[in-house]
Structure 1
Amino acid sequence: MQQNKLPFYQKHPLLFCLALIMAAVALFAGAMAALRLSGAHATGGLFKQDRVGICYIEGFIADSSKVTAWLRELRDDRSVVGVLLRIDSPGGAVAPSQEMYNAVRRLAAVKPVVVSMGSVAASGGYYIAAGADHIVANPSTITGSIGVKMELANMQGLMDKIGIAHDALTSGDLKNAGSPFKPMTDKERAYLQGLVGDMYEQFLEAIVNGRRMNIEDVRKAADGRAMTGRQALALGLVDTLGDMETAYDKLVSMCNATGQAPLPFVEGPPQETSILRDLLSSYLGIDPASSFSESLRRRSDIRFLYY
């Protein structure tokens, strides 16, 4: 006589229940991972609470594309209630500094923006900071250096010594201005000085508009000198002395948050990954670009030609 085969769930009820539990756990873990991945991008994700955006501006300023794209992303993300700019830059090229300043101004028009100055935030670095709502500098931060310079080499003496001559055919008297192969004429000097002067006036206008300062007060501090954060505070170029945590606390208060616990963070611009960094992070637990947000959770010390 052939016996009726029992289904697996009746024959092994304990194993069947265990399998159901494991499947439910796997589905839940997958759903949470998907939510985390979608929430990692500034404009995506579901069920996100209010959070703070952080933008790092570091090193010589030569290109603005990554920073301006990140600032636009933070501006469009409705879950980001305010943005902290961490600037550690000696300055750099004129146009990229202007583009970042304009991006900061557009961002500050829709949500609070606070600057934290690191070791140095001078010249183009200060230009960018001037577009924010509030500037926090360390007492010993090197800032200011408000001005523009153009450096041109003159190699004519060297060319004469090694017996090399240079000729140039131009369509106008000023097309060859600044050539390193000949002395500068008075007309060329006046022309190039006019370019520098116009860029300088644009720099002053940006500070006047961004900081809401009187033009004469700005001129008093805009003779090209670098200064400490404490000196800049006395001249009205910064608002508060403190570190990055001070800037964060100020931003939280401007966002009308309770401040009882740190808000979650989204940081950028995105950094390029490398095999070495992945190995350090995965196997040794070391992140060469450790985030401020993790430091803040522990409440420990926090660790482009405008020139």
Structure 2
Amino acid sequence: MTPHSDFRAIAVVGAGAVGSFFGAMLARAGHRVVLIGRPAHVEAIRRDGLQLQMKGATERVAIDAASDIAAVRGADLVLFCVKSPDTDAVAREMAPHLDAGALVLSLQNGVDNAATTARHVRCAVVPSVVYVATAMPAPGTVAHFGRGDLVIGSPEPALQPRLQAVAALFGSAGVPVVVSADVMGELWRKLMLNCAYNAISAIAQQPYGRMAALPEIRTVMREVVEEVVAVAHADGQPLDLDACLQAMDKLAPAMPAQMSSTAQDLARGKPSEIDHLNGFIARRGAELGVATPVNRTLHALVKLAEAARQDG
């Protein structure tokens, strides 16, 4: 029996590691969920269910899956989890199938994805900050390594009751959700952490703990954070440098074995989101007249590594 909820049907668009994890948590709590993802992932789920690896055990989660974007039709809540470079194209493709009254949560890295999606769809789009460590070791399998919570928010007063309903929905599935009046500030702080860790982890193919153990790397990470904070200030986001540096210092001890999503993409020969992380800071810095030499260099090195792997 489906538990009571303001949302009758939930679709996860771009069901990779993050989308599959949150979809699985909702489905195992009894909510109606469809994962929309790549054919191999979908076929494995249809055959064997979604294998959720968490807390040292593997659980089979019964959940619907589809590879056609049209499966979003009828959903009143959409978790939009596609990689940042695909946002524009997938939002455009999704738009004709969306119910006008649906609510879209952008569960993506970067600070500009919700605005990009909103240009194409006729329903409300809400930015969300995702804090979770996950991976997909094989099609049909998602592994959870740490955290699993969200921060959501919108300046629109009319949306506040629906945001509280989203928080209640996820709460029923054991996923903490904070409704924040400063979700854009939260997104910038998450971007800051991604810029500090992702590219270096990717280039060296090393986990966070090993990175932070080297004073030379910590110095580079600090310079990255200083540049992100400077760009944020110029863009109207008053990030606190000391608080950002403290958050940077805390992440590696909390997740010492974690490889960044960019490192995972590089290892698999997949395009990364680096253009929307350090690359975004380099572009926005140039537009605002803020120098970002460290972010620009890390962006260029990841692009080189991507090109080398694609050529190979």
Query: TM-score category by the smaller chain?
Result: under 0.3
Larger fraction in helix: 2
Q: Answer 1 or 2: higher relative contact order, Cα 8 Å, separation at least 6.
A: 1
